[in-house]
Each structure stands twice: as structure tokens, then as C-alpha cells.
Amino acid sequence: MAGAEKLIKKIGADAKRDAEKYWHEAEEKKKLMRSKLLREIDKRKAEIEKQAAQAGVEKKKRMAAVYDLEYRKELLAAKQEMMVKAKELAFEKLASLNDDEYIALMKRRLLSCAETGTGSIAVAKNEKRLNAAFLKDVNAALKKQTGSGEVKLSGEPRNIAGGFIYLSDGLEINLSLEAQLNEAWQDVETEVAAILFE
């Protein structure tokens, strides 16, 4: 389990590093957007001042607040888009693990959830790495760990992008790559946001 946490932390660190890379691009985009918005605000402000001279100071304040709110909404949307991209990048990193890293991660995850040494795993239709050889290795480790090593490959493929679903006595544990990333993302999301938007 410590290995999985270490890998999850590595993925988080990689995501942070990659997020910093995209931060510079996003910063330029933000500057351009800010400049454009400031020009628009200035233009609208001039119109508002003209209207305010005719309609009163209170109307001017209301209009300025509307444009300020629009600017904040667009800035928030840009931040949310950056967070989505950072998470997508983290998933790409996880999905592109080399065979040895991927198999080691899946083995650790399966050993941690197959406490009885029995059950089965359902994988994606196109999954090639989690095969009979993988299960033979895992079952040997389970036999040492639990005294039983009888995890089988389910004949029913699942609609997942990597990883597996562990099945045992009506229980399903989702250890797809997406589920594992979502779990890890909850731990690092605040840190990623801090890096992107300090």
C-alpha cells in the first residue's frame, strides 16, 4: 500500500510540475484576456460615465459592478478550465506508465484489496497487460500473503480506461485508472490550485 501511495504522490508531483509548465501559457492567456477585458471595461466605463451624467451616480455604480462581475466570472471560468486540463494531464501520465510501472501498481492495488486471496478482476476489452501471466504472479504473492491465490480474470469486460474492477462475493471495488486518479486528485487538488493561482 505504501508503494501505491508513493506512486500516487509521484503522480501528484508530476501533475504539479506539469501544471507549472502550463501555468506560463495560462498566465499569458490570462494577461491577454485581462488586457482585453480592461479595454472593454474602459470603453464601457466611458459609456457608463456618459450615461451616469445623464441618469445619475447610482446607475454608474450599478453598471460598473456588472462589468466587474463579468470579469470575475470569466477569470473563474479560465481557472476552472486550467484545473480540468491539469487533471487530464495527470490522467495521461498515469495511463502512459510503462508496462513494469503499470503492472507493479496494479499488483499492489490487487494485493491490497484481495484479502481473501479469491475473487476475480474485470478489465477493459482492450486491456493486454492484466492477463494470465499477471494473475499468476499476483496469485503466487496472494498465496504467500493469505494462504490462497485464486483470483481469476472475469470474462465480462468493463468500460474502463485501464486498471480493473475487483469482484468478490457480490462486492465490486473500482480500481480503474480513473477511479484511482479521482482518489489521488482529492488529496492534491488544493495544492495544484495553489500552484496555478497563487
- 193 part of a folded domain: no
Assign 3 a pLDDT band (cuts: 50, 70, 90): low
At 30-55, the pLDDT tens digits run 777 778 767 887 888 788 677 666 66
Q: Using an 8 Å Cβ cutoff, are 168 and 127 in contact?
A: no
Q: Could you give the number of structural domains in the chain?
A: 2
Among the three residues 42, 61, 96, which one is the final residue of a domain in this structure? 96
Assign 4 a pLDDT band (cuts: 50, 70, 90): low
At 110-168, the pLDDT tens digits run 998 888 889 999 998 888 899 999 999 999 999 998 888 889 998 888 898 888 999 99
Q: What pLDDT does residue 104 have?
A: 93
- 196 part of a folded domain: no
Residue 22 reports pLDDT greater than 90 = no
Handedness of CA 177, 180, 183, 185 (dihedral sign): negative
- 89 part of a folded domain: yes
Q: What pLDDT does residue 107 have?
A: 92
Residue 34 identity (one-letter amino acid):
R
